[in-house]
Every structure is written in C-alpha cells, then in structure tokens.
C-alpha cells in the first residue's frame, strides 16, 4: 500500500464520513513508516470530533499536532506562525484535516497562495451511508462545489463508508463499488477503501481500491463509559 508522496495531503469530506478518523490513522501510519509527519487540525466546522483531541496519542507516535485558532473570525481561522511552517520546503510531510462544508472549503481557498507553492494532494472522503453521500449525483455535485469554493482541485477519492460499531464487511464492499464508480466518472484516482483492522482478511481480493486498515481513536462522548479494552484499549496504555 502506497502512502502519500506529496508534501501536503488535504483530507476533506462531509460531517460523519470518517475523515478525521482516517486522517489520524494516516498520520500515525506515516510516522511508523519513518516519515516526519505533522497533522494540522483545520476543521473549525465540527467542535466535537477534531483530530486535535487525539493530540496525546499522536505525539506518542511521533506526530506533531498543530491547531488553528479563530481569533474572533467565524469563517476563517488564524494560522499561527508555527502552522505556516508546513509550507516551507523541508523534509517533513503534513496532513491537513479540514471541515467538509462550504466554510471548510473557503478556508482552503483563503490559503491558496501558500498551497500553490508546494506539491499537495486533496483527497475527498465518501461515506455511502451518510444522507449527503447516498447518490452519485449528490457526491459529484458536492465535490464540484468544494473545488469551486476551495479553489483547489480534488485529486483523489477515499471510501470511508461505515456505520460506526454496526459496520459490516458488506457496507465497506458496497461503498468501495460506489466510490469506484464516482472515481471512474470524474477520472480521479481511487486511493483507499478504509475500514477497521478486523475486516482486512475478510476483504482481501474483494475491493477495487487498496485497503487501509484503521484503529478507532475518535470516540463519541456517549461511548466513554464503555471505552475499556477492545477497540479503545489504547486509552489504558
């Protein structure tokens, strides 16, 4: 499985697609593979499931975590000087977790000048089980709107189809076929199909994209009481 080869990889998608879970896991995987990696939390849309919330776990893996501050602005977050360094020409790679709605897209548009100075990819996550991602036309329209507002072309698609703890292998397979069709129509690379590690052997040879196995880090507030062992064993490490 190939990992990002560009200086910056932007991860976006609708609320609930699983984009932040993917971004956190991708950053950890890159760090474990020896890449000096920074994860930038640019998601000002969702206050509850932000990659910054897993700062302790990420830093334990060697991932640098940077976060924006609004500083009085609702639609455009401030990028402190330490975040601006991701655009420098050093050997470190960065992942930007950005909100998947018009506000998030406009944030990218605001920083177009900086982004255009470095090689980067813009990957869009699709969860076929979300209402906003149910039809092919919906997803394509949303991608086009995102590109227009962000002033950045989407360069690849990620299948993050899931139903939380209720996810079954068929959900992932159906999502894989759905996103493959969209990728073909838009002539975009289909980068990964994402799913929990437990599905890897079950899905071998059954997917059109490379399987990206993940561990669950983004825990919902109402799940905290049950977060002992199992999926959430890392809490006790």
Whether 173 contacts 203, CB under 8 Å: yes
Give the per-residue pLDDT at 88.
Answer: 85
The string of pLDDT tens digits covering residues 143-185 is: 999 999 899 999 999 999 999 889 999 999 999 999 999 999 9
Whether 68 contacts 44, CB under 8 Å: yes
Cβ neighbours of residue 65 closer than 8 Å, sequence gap 6 or more: 38, 39, 41, 51, 52, 55, 58, 59
Give the per-residue pLDDT at 47.
Answer: 53
Alpha carbon distance 169, 195 (integer Å)? 9
The ranges assigned to domains in the chain are: 8-236
Average pLDDT over residues 206-214: 98
Alpha carbon distance 60, 41 (integer Å)? 17
Give the per-residue pLDDT at 105.
Answer: 80
Give the per-residue pLDDT at 119.
Answer: 95
Give the per-residue pLDDT at 227.
Answer: 46
The string of pLDDT tens digits covering residues 50-98 is: 665 678 889 999 999 988 765 434 445 556 677 788 988 777 899 999 8
Q: Which CATH entry fits the domain spanning 8-236: 3.20.20.140, 2.60.40.420, 3.40.50.300, 3.30.70.600? A: 3.40.50.300
Give the per-residue pLDDT at 50.
Answer: 60
Res. 189: pLDDT tops 60: yes
Smallest CA-to-CA distance from 150 within 186, 130, 129, 120 is with: 120
Give the per-residue pLDDT at 235.
Answer: 42
The string of pLDDT tens digits covering residues 26-42 is: 999 999 999 999 998 88
Give the per-residue pLDDT at 234.
Answer: 38
């Amino acid at each position: 499985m190939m990992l990002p080869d560009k200086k910056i990889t932007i991860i976006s998608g609708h609320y609930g697609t699983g984009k932040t879970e993917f971004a956190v896991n991708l950053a950890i995987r890159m760090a474990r593979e020896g890449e000096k990696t920074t994860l930038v939390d640019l998601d000002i849309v969702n206050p509850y499931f932000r990659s910054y919330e897993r700062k302790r776990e990420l830093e334990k893996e060697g991932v640098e975590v940077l976060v924006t501050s609004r500083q009085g602005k609702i639609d455009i977050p401030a990028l402190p000087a330490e975040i601006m360094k991701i655009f420098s020409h050093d050997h470190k790679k960065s992942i930007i977790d950005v909100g998947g709605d018009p506000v998030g897209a406009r944030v990218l548009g605001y920083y177009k000048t900086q982004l255009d100075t470095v090689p980067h990819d813009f990957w869009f996550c699709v969860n076929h089980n979300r209402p906003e991602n149910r039809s092919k036309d919906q997803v394509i329209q949303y991608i086009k709107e995102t590109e227009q507002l962000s002033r950045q072309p989407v360069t690849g698609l990620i299948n993050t189809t899931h139903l939380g703890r209720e996810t079954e292998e068929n959900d992932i397979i159906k999502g894989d076929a759905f996103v493959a069709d969209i990728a073909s129509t838009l002539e975009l690379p289909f980068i990964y199909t994402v799913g929990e590690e437990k599905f890897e052997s079950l899905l071998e040879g059954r997917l059109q994209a490379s399987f990206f196995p993940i561990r669950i880090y983004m825990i919902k507030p109402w799940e905290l009481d049950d977060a002992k062992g199992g999926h959430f064993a890392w809490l006790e490490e």
